[in-house]
Structure 1
Amino acid sequence: MDFQISAQQREMVASVRSLAQSEFKPNAMRWMDGTFPWENMKKLADLGVLGMSVPEEYGGLGLPILDTALILEEIAKVDYVTAMAVLGEAGVQTRVIARYAPASIRERILPQVVSGDCILAVCMTEPHAGTDVANYRTNTRIVGDRVILKGTKTLISRAPEAGMFVVFTRVDGKPGREGIGCVLLEAGTPGFSVTGTYHTMGGENLHEIQFDDCELPLENLVIREDGFRKLLTAFNTQRCLNPSISLGLAEGAFDEAVNYVRERTIFNKPISDFQGIRWKLADMFKDIEAGRGLLYRACLTANPFPDPFMAAAAKIFCNEMSLRVTTEAVQVHGGFGFTDEFPVSRFYRGARYGSIGGGASETLRDLIGKKIVGEFDVVDGIMGLGMF
């Protein structure tokens, strides 16, 4: 087993790190009021980063999931809001378009994702149903060579900025999981409106969207059958990219904590001289490295999507690890950690999102538990679960 990233990956990470540290870090507070970081996105587009999940034939980089996770981790070390904006271009919505959309849509939209001219949004959660996909009420009717989309989605990122929406919907009212499909809708379509805004503790805004009999070409119904399985398969990517942001937030908070304990003095000596502080740093370090190992390993199972159980385990651990590390970073800073003048308060607030979005920790624990109960062999043990 090789636990080193390649020279090419190191070069790529170094380029993103240089930009993030020099230009994103000093201005991170600018985006905490819900303003979309267009300025940062343009700079990342110039680096090619926004095309990392776009196939090469459409001008993208077509990077493996591990490379994408490395980039998101680096951005999240300094700016949660920008990292979440980039996740929208690298996550499930781009991969759904690249894998399932007809050539005419791929050729028109994906180059705009690479250039930063088209922001994407994925629409899953409904006011009464988040994880409970089988009870979605948003519905798409097929009428000849057209489809009619009607319903409501909520807690949607980037809705005012997005140029295209990847909407998971019921098809022709078919009940249960078997009735789930996916339709693509462009901003400005008659009947589409953003009807509500929620400002989050992490800094970004989330929105409610209304589809009032939006009429679309039949080709925009990109997933018509077996949509639930395809949704979950694509969504496993999100369960590696979401925790990469959690990992980055933990690392950013750890960096701030180390710098602070070296400089802060009490009783005429730096607080790094106190054993209790050093032990906190040691625990933060081991947690980060355990999360890194689990996440990177989950990313490497992708073919083209990650193993669902490894991705679930990595997401749970990194989400919860990030909360522990950012909490301790605030504690190390004392009262200053509770103020906006010190970055650790931003890292803490951003970390709280991880275990909610992209699959709640409770849901993922149940997913893993079912596999263990159903497939665990007392002779082969954990090795027999096929994750190694």
Structure 2
Amino acid sequence: MTPEFTTEQKAMIRSVRELTQGNFIARGTRYLDGSFPWENLRELAGLGVLGMAVPEEYGGLGLPVFDTALVLEEIAKGCYVTAMAVLGEVGVQTRIIAHYAPEKIKQRILPGVCEGTNILAVCMTEPDAGTDVASYRTNTTVKSDRVIVRGTKTMISRAPEAAMFVVFTRVNGEPGREGIGCVLVDAGTPGLEITANYHTLGGENLHEVQFNDVELPRENLVIEHDGFRKLLNAFNTQRCLNPSISLGLAEGAFDQALKYAKERMAFGRQIGGFQGMRWKLADMYRDIELARGLLYRACASADPFPDPFLAANAKIACNEMSLRVTSEAIQVHGGFGFTDEALVSRLYRGARYGTLGGGTSETLRDLVGKRLMARDDDGDGILGRLIN
């Protein structure tokens, strides 16, 4: 079902679209070498976009997950790297600070997030543990009014630009999921070191970050108990925002393909005049709209975090759809679609990340399957469950 957009949502989408189509697409090739899109972020900060997840009392907009997803969708149509940079300011790391950090840290960090001066980096993945959170080795030891962090995180976005690192860590060596907490580490803290750089297919750089006996005030340990549950709550939001980028990438690629099919001539007519090409465009459009419905429904379930079952289904659908659609968009463009100068090429590169970050498709399929197996067989079927 098509949602009824509010006047405010329409205005924000139009403003972001103007920037994306007018500025971000033209700058897209600048960021293929790993350069950070500071210029784009400054322009988005002027619209309030970077403060979408920040409560109003700290200068933000405090918008729902659905509004945030709509904006990311629009940005991704023109620049994957910019969309991912914005995700870092409206995603799990900002929400962890807004929900769990002490007041003085909120006051110090969150206004700068809104202004685009405080970039945040979330540190979860480790060399020997990604989705397997229970196997994290990074540990925070509590010593009276201080804490000491030791360990290594890898595949970290925005590390050189970050003002603060939101680090998921074991606390006092407690094993398993129950031992997971979260600590905030300011850039420049002694013992924090960026030790490796990995350039990605999508254009971003990812990094390894080491915490070598980093000493912090006790208050920086913002989650000490029940951290795994709180992490999953925040990550269900990420499982709506990641696929909103995938949806935008697919839409941007489809728009480009449709335009090209109308303009490109072959054998005396538009290539869109050939049945095979029309069918290709029809399939792309259908796949986009099917995935959009799942995503918007998952976003609408947020209170304040989305339903995990709906978010997982939406992420699988959008991530995998985006790979198909962006690939087909390159096919429509022929050889030109394979060049860096072609927007569809850059959108395809970005689409490849979706199934990897925020929970792999395999992990989420298992989550969905377990939920289905755990349901009582009441005979009502899927529609019956919707109306009950």
Aligned to 1:52: 52
Aligned to 2:165: 165
Aligned to 1:117: 117
Q: Secondary structure at the match of 1:181?
A: strand
TM-score (norm 1): 0.98
Aligned to 1:133: 133
CA contact (8 A) 1:372 1:385 kept: no
CA distance change for structure 1 residues 22 and 188 in 2, over 3 Å: closer, same or farther? same
Q: Is 1:14 aligned with 2:14?
A: yes
CA distance change for structure 1 residues 387 and 348 in 2, over 3 Å: closer, same or farther? farther
1:279-298 mapped onto 2 (5 Å cutoff) = 279-298=279-298
Residue identity opposite 2:5 in structure 1: I
1:335-354 mapped onto 2 (5 Å cutoff) = 335-354=335-354
Aligned to 1:98: 98
Q: Secondary structure at the match of 1:214?
A: strand
Matched residues, number: 388
Aligned to 2:76: 76
2: distance between equivalents of 1:224 and 1:145?
A: 14
2: distance between equivalents of 1:324 and 1:159?
A: 31
Residue identity opposite 2:206 in structure 1: L
- Once the two structures are TM-superposed, the CA of residue 378 in structure 1 deviates from its matched residue by 4.2
2: distance between equivalents of 1:387 and 1:54?
A: 35
CA contact (8 A) 1:376 1:385 kept: no
Q: What's the RMSD between the two structures over aligned residues? A: 1.2
1: distance between equivalents of 2:53 and 2:384?
A: 32
Aligned to 2:42: 42
1: distance between equivalents of 2:380 and 2:188?
A: 56
CA contact (8 A) 2:9 2:67 kept: yes
- Once the two structures are TM-superposed, the CA of residue 341 in structure 1 deviates from its matched residue by 2.0
1: distance between equivalents of 2:385 and 2:131?
A: 25
Q: Secondary structure at the match of 2:354?
A: coil
Q: Secondary structure at the match of 1:60?
A: coil
TM-score (norm 2): 0.98
Q: Secondary structure at the match of 2:87?
A: helix
Aligned to 1:235: 235
2: distance between equivalents of 1:380 and 1:162?
A: 50
CA contact (8 A) 2:253 2:343 kept: yes
Residue identity opposite 1:31 in structure 2: Y
Structure 1, unaligned runs of 5 or more? none
Cα deviation digits, residues 109-162 of structure 1 (max 9, x gap) = 000100111000100000000000000000000011000000000000000000
Q: Secondary structure at the match of 2:380?
A: coil
1:323-338 mapped onto 2 (5 Å cutoff) = 323-338=323-338
CA contact (8 A) 2:123 2:156 kept: yes
- Once the two structures are TM-superposed, the CA of residue 7 in structure 1 deviates from its matched residue by 2.2
- Once the two structures are TM-superposed, the CA of residue 4 in structure 1 deviates from its matched residue by 2.5
1: distance between equivalents of 2:44 and 2:224?
A: 34
Cα deviation digits, residues 262-301 of structure 1 (max 9, x gap) = 1111111110110110011000001111111110110000
CA contact (8 A) 2:25 2:343 kept: no
Aligned to 2:205: 205
Aligned to 1:177: 177
Aligned to 1:28: 28
CA contact (8 A) 2:29 2:341 kept: no
Aligned to 1:153: 153
Aligned to 1:189: 189
2: distance between equivalents of 1:235 and 1:134?
A: 16
Q: Is 1:381 aligned with 2:381?
A: yes
Q: Secondary structure at the match of 2:127?
A: coil
- Once the two structures are TM-superposed, the CA of residue 2 in structure 1 deviates from its matched residue by 6.0
CA distance change for structure 1 residues 2 and 284 in 2, over 3 Å: closer, same or farther? closer
2: distance between equivalents of 1:53 and 1:119?
A: 13
Aligned to 2:303: 303
Identity of aligned pairs, percent?
Answer: 70
Structure 1: 4+ residue segments shifted above 6 A: none
